[in-house]
Amino acid sequence: MSLVLDNVSYSYPGSTQGLHEVSLDVRTGELVAVIGPSGSGKSTLLKLVSGLETGHAGRIALDGEDLSHTPVHRRHIGMVFQSYALFPHLDVLDNVAYGLKLRKVPAEARRRRARELLELVGLGEFAARAVARLSGGQQQRVALARALAIDPRALLLDEPLSALDASVRGHLRDQIRAIQQRFNATTLLVTHDQEEALTMADRVAVLKDGRLLQIAAPREIYERP
Ligand code: ADP
Ligand code: ADP
């Protein structure tokens, strides 16, 4: 249940087809990896769910609520991008607290919540640091803490590990998966990395030319002759 796409299509202005009749159910707490070649519609899928692109045909629903007319900040969706997309002028704590501030959570409560999440991702000591003075892996853990701080109804991870060194990637993969399970977060993970899909995903959705070709357990997807 939880995140449901029913026959979703989307064309970019000038008629580039982004998605074509995609239907997909992500259950509560499930992590679905979205794979497919460049241009297959992975980013488009995430942008439609997040509300960064609007005007799709078909239905996108979160916990039964049709999102067609729900603006980005009311969707209550946590996002993590390949490029971290942290606010460079804010320190680590204020980055994590940002979404809570937007939602008018009082200052003391949001600092407390942000601290909790920083502890959870192992960055408790870095609260007052400028984000530019963190490593890539640390910045991505801040981004994850920020995404989770709002108690999201769904989590969208857009190639969260692909900018990182291989040495950091393995550890962070396990950490993100453990935290995602602990939060029982309904999650879409866009990735190009087979190892990532195999170790993190409950199911893998394969896109090609804007269509959903297949959705199945990771082993079924990758262990074909
Ligand atoms: P990646 O495969 O690394 O995700 P994309 O091919 O999705 O990269 O492109 C990255 C950005 O460029 C996205 O924000 C996407 O919306 C935009 N983009 C991709 N294709 C086009 C296009 N034909 N015209 C305009 N913008 C595009
Ligand atoms: P992926 O993330 O899998 O690389 P995208 O969702 O970015 O794929 O792209 C799907 C299709 O939509 C591609 O044909 C791409 O060129 C096109 N597209 C993506 N973003 C834009 C955009 N902003 N404007 C026009 N076409 C786009």
pLDDT tens digit sequence for 15-64: 788 999 999 999 999 999 999 999 999 999 999 999 999 999 999 999 99
Q: ipTM higher than 0.85?
A: no
State which of 40, 42, 43 you would mutate to test the pocket of ligand 1, scoring each by most atoms of that ligand within 8 A of its C-beta: 43
- pTM listed for this prediction: 0.88
Q: Check residue 30 and give its pLDDT.
A: 98
Contact 46/190 with Cβ under 8 angstroms? Answer: yes
Residue nearest to atom 1 of ligand 1 (CA): 38
DSSP string covering 13-53? TTS-EEEEEEEEEE-TT-EEEEE-STTSSHHHHHHHHHTSS
CA of 41 to the centre of ligand 2 (A): 6
Q: Which of 44, 45, 189 to mutate to test the pocket of ligand 2 (most atoms within 8 A of CB)?
A: 44
For the CA of 37, the closest atom of ligand 2 is: 3
